[in-house]
Structure 1
């Protein structure tokens, strides 16, 4: 088992590398401007009143966050695009330059045009360029070549606008579209956005929230402890109920207990948990129906100096309904899987031998059958491990619980992408860890299993 664990650990870096590429790709394509979201509100308000100062602040923030670096270790583009385009801080300006370069293939002329437009847009002579400056600032954000041409032609024929018009004419007249057909491979080394992002992730720095600018790690840490408490109790309850029900349903198959438990559990399985959660919050947490048995929202506030018994009563009263709503759909799922596997084991020869030795039915079920029939349970446990921290969005929303599900919902609605991407990365890590633990549990439960050798497993199974 130790050698298999080491082999699986050697495979983990590749899986985690691919997972990091996925999360970094999501980070790159998510809408919004991450640099602008990190600017102080005072500087963001200067975008219209003091555009030159705002542009300088934006460039400093982009350099501090590493957004002026290449995206990856290497790039493969056509020869017309330069290897310095990433140094343009604002995404809208990069898109404009990229569109004009792909239209003409003449990067030097596009660069001269860009410098001329910036000089006009952020020049000091604002009174003389009162008509041309707004057009120039729009040109910096325009990535449609036809719209750019129309805007340039609309500039007044004055001394300030002439450099822009001349530079744009050079872009159009000096077309080098043949360069678009030539490939260009460029190696950027470790000075790239992905490398810096990965180093920050490994050091525990997940960035700041777009909504309140708090560290993402702090917000996840606060929500995680509540989700671990809620889902940990729910998973424990699922196995405490499902294991004996599934075993005894197999041991007494065809009996009233088997029939009644199967019917009841399948009825529960067919009731959506969010619907039941809505019903119980309406009927059991409000005095309108005379059944105000439980508090309705949150985890409860523990008074300072309260005893452990008082804290337990407060937490228990708040946790009872959400735990039950999380747990009851899994009762049928886990118990029926265990029953089906246990029924197969009860027909094996070792069970007959155990009966001949005088072992009771309970001893056979708990000491022999459970261990050999637990493979489906272990598989389910491997999938439940990431759910322990992922949380339940619907249940936490209905009961207003500040867990991971609630955090994910709030972040997704508010387009707080650093939190969403970090939660995706965390869930992927937990899924890989859960699968590894499940495989190790197979070997621990059944020594006949030789993980990593399919032929040995097949021969043993036969």
Structure 2
């Protein structure tokens, strides 16, 4: 058995690495970077009074500080028309525009020269007169076809008669761009090798050392942020799973008895109705019914994590914690109870039709003894499989619950991190959930061997 578990652990390590690598690469392919929108604001925010050059400099400094100026992976496969430094261009709208031009015209040098000349004309125009250029600049950015660019550049040149040098340069680079276009050049791939100086290598080395990095949004170590959030989510998931499992098992045992027809008649339709209610609707119903002055205001709606625990005794802190957690726990229990009860009931029903159960009843054993000592033990195998997948699956429900009830846990932290593009926190949560998923399957193997000794003998 020990060798079997060791083999499973050794197999779990590459699986965990593969999942984490895939999520890392996919997360970096998300559009936008944390802080780019704030840096790009020209009329508000901390960088609102800074000019475009200052905001671009701040953006580059942020990328360098967080390591996002490095290539993503050890190698990259991209169209030959794109440079490997395209991700450094700020803001994102300019980057996407240049990418579109490079794909459409096929020569990065000509695209870059044209773009720089266009910026020179725009910057050399007095601020009071830039509104006249806006429609033609918008035409170029939104419809960079040869005819559209040619007409817009002609109009821009007529609106800037005093900028002879800039106008002549723009017209020259526009003519070069249109004459040298190669619209199929982007079909040629370019394989570039970046070595170990890349974002993935830096992250993987830190992960091997037990470091998840620093949160972009909170400016704190990811491990500390996860430690604060995982406590609430862990108790929420664990208590809800234990309570839902106990209730589902008890209901299943009562329905599988010989005289359980009345229980089946009352429980099964109720569970079917409860299962038809979406989780977020169930959460809102509980808020309206049990946390609203219009009905019964028995529990607080939100505010968990905002009170000062240092000013409370342990008993007071526990009581306040239970007030905030009562509705989320009730919601998760009700949401998962129909599925668990159905699976337990079917597993027990299949076991009840076996010959050894009929033999046990023919011996005159009591119904309770038959169910709990003979039927339940042999029905545990499918139940163990179910429970090994049930606790990790609760994380998806925790995302909704923690968002609706404003609970500072892993689910809410994941939503906030995705919206803010806080990649280190996202990766920390993914690795933690994946590791817990693998551990749950290892625990299921141990429970299998405990429930059925034949499995233990087969694996030794």
Does the residue aligned with 1:63 lie in a helix, a strand or coil?
Answer: helix
CA contact (8 A) 1:268 1:332 kept: yes
- Find the aligned partners of 1:297 and 1:229 in 2 and give their Cα distance: 18
Match for residue 346 of structure 2 among 331, 340, 344: 340
Matches within 5 A, 1:208-219: 208-209=216-217, 219=225
- More relative contact order, 1 or 2 (CA 8 Å, 6+ apart): 2
* Unpaired runs of at least 5, structure 1: 454-462
Match for residue 241 of structure 2 among 235, 240, 248: 235
Sort the Cα spacing of 1:87 and 1:334 in 2 relative to 1 into closer, same or farther, 3 A: closer
Residue 97 of structure 1: aligned partner: 98
Give the Å deviation of 1:52.
2.2
Residue 19 of structure 1: aligned partner: 19
Match for residue 230 of structure 2 among 221, 224, 227: 224
Sort the Cα spacing of 1:371 and 1:205 in 2 relative to 1 into closer, same or farther, 3 A: farther
Residue 215 of structure 2: aligned partner: 207
Give the Å deviation of 1:450.
7.3
Residue 74 of structure 2: aligned partner: 73
CA contact (8 A) 1:113 1:168 kept: yes
Residue 447 of structure 2: aligned partner: 441
Sort the Cα spacing of 1:10 and 1:145 in 2 relative to 1 into closer, same or farther, 3 A: farther
Residue 331 of structure 1: aligned partner: 337
- Find the aligned partners of 2:187 and 2:329 in 1 and give their Cα distance: 61
Residue 160 of structure 1: aligned partner: 166
Does the residue aligned with 1:34 lie in a helix, a strand or coil?
Answer: coil
Which range moved further: 267-276 or 246-255? 267-276
Sort the Cα spacing of 1:99 and 1:381 in 2 relative to 1 into closer, same or farther, 3 A: same
Matches within 5 A, 1:49-64: 49-64=50-65
CA contact (8 A) 2:252 2:341 kept: yes
Give the Å deviation of 1:336.
3.0
- Find the aligned partners of 2:431 and 2:88 in 1 and give their Cα distance: 28
Residue 107 of structure 2: aligned partner: 106
Does the residue aligned with 2:455 lie in a helix, a strand or coil?
Answer: coil
- Find the aligned partners of 1:85 and 1:250 in 2 and give their Cα distance: 65
Give the Å deviation of 1:252.
3.1
Query: Over residues 219-255 of structure 1, what are the superposed CA-to-partner deviations in whole Å (9 max), with x where a residue is unaligned?
Result: 5443332222222221111122222332343243545
- Find the aligned partners of 2:184 and 2:404 in 1 and give their Cα distance: 60
Does the residue aligned with 2:192 lie in a helix, a strand or coil?
Answer: strand
Match for residue 416 of structure 1 among 410, 417, 420: 420
Matches within 5 A, 1:40-51: 46=47, 49-51=50-52
CA contact (8 A) 1:243 1:335 kept: yes
Residue 5 of structure 1: aligned partner: 5
Sort the Cα spacing of 1:47 and 1:273 in 2 relative to 1 into closer, same or farther, 3 A: closer
Does the residue aligned with 2:166 lie in a helix, a strand or coil?
Answer: coil
User: How many matched pairs?
Assistant: 447
TM-score (normalizing by structure 2): 0.76
Which range moved further: 417-426 or 321-330? 417-426
Sort the Cα spacing of 1:50 and 1:254 in 2 relative to 1 into closer, same or farther, 3 A: closer
- Find the aligned partners of 2:458 and 2:197 in 1 and give their Cα distance: 39
Give the Å deviation of 1:36.
2.0
Sort the Cα spacing of 1:259 and 1:117 in 2 relative to 1 into closer, same or farther, 3 A: closer
- Find the aligned partners of 2:297 and 2:105 in 1 and give their Cα distance: 72
- Find the aligned partners of 1:34 and 1:8 in 2 and give their Cα distance: 38
Give the Å deviation of 1:103.
2.9
- Find the aligned partners of 1:5 and 1:440 in 2 and give their Cα distance: 8
- Find the aligned partners of 2:203 and 2:390 in 1 and give their Cα distance: 29
Give the Å deviation of 1:374.
1.5
Which range moved further: 10-19 or 228-237? 10-19
Give the Å deviation of 1:327.
0.9
- Find the aligned partners of 1:59 and 1:305 in 2 and give their Cα distance: 44
Which range moved further: 42-51 or 255-264? 42-51
- Find the aligned partners of 1:35 and 1:350 in 2 and give their Cα distance: 67
Give the Å deviation of 1:446.
2.0
Does the residue aligned with 1:449 lie in a helix, a strand or coil?
Answer: helix
Does the residue aligned with 1:142 lie in a helix, a strand or coil?
Answer: helix
Query: Over residues 392-450 of structure 1, what are the superposed CA-to-partner deviations in whole Å (9 max), with x where a residue is unaligned?
Result: 345445544333444455566xx323279445565455444434443443334223337
- Find the aligned partners of 2:226 and 2:51 in 1 and give their Cα distance: 37
CA contact (8 A) 2:237 2:391 kept: no
CA contact (8 A) 2:299 2:324 kept: yes
CA contact (8 A) 1:81 1:107 kept: yes
Sort the Cα spacing of 1:188 and 1:381 in 2 relative to 1 into closer, same or farther, 3 A: same
Give the Å deviation of 1:206.
5.7
- Find the aligned partners of 2:276 and 2:50 in 1 and give their Cα distance: 60
Does the residue aligned with 1:367 lie in a helix, a strand or coil?
Answer: helix
CA contact (8 A) 1:97 1:110 kept: yes
Give the Å deviation of 1:21.
4.7
Sort the Cα spacing of 1:282 and 1:451 in 2 relative to 1 into closer, same or farther, 3 A: farther
Residue 179 of structure 2: aligned partner: 173
Matches within 5 A, 1:136-155: 142=141, 144-146=143-145, 147-153=148-154, 154-155=156-157
Cα RMSD of the aligned pairs, angstroms, is 4.5
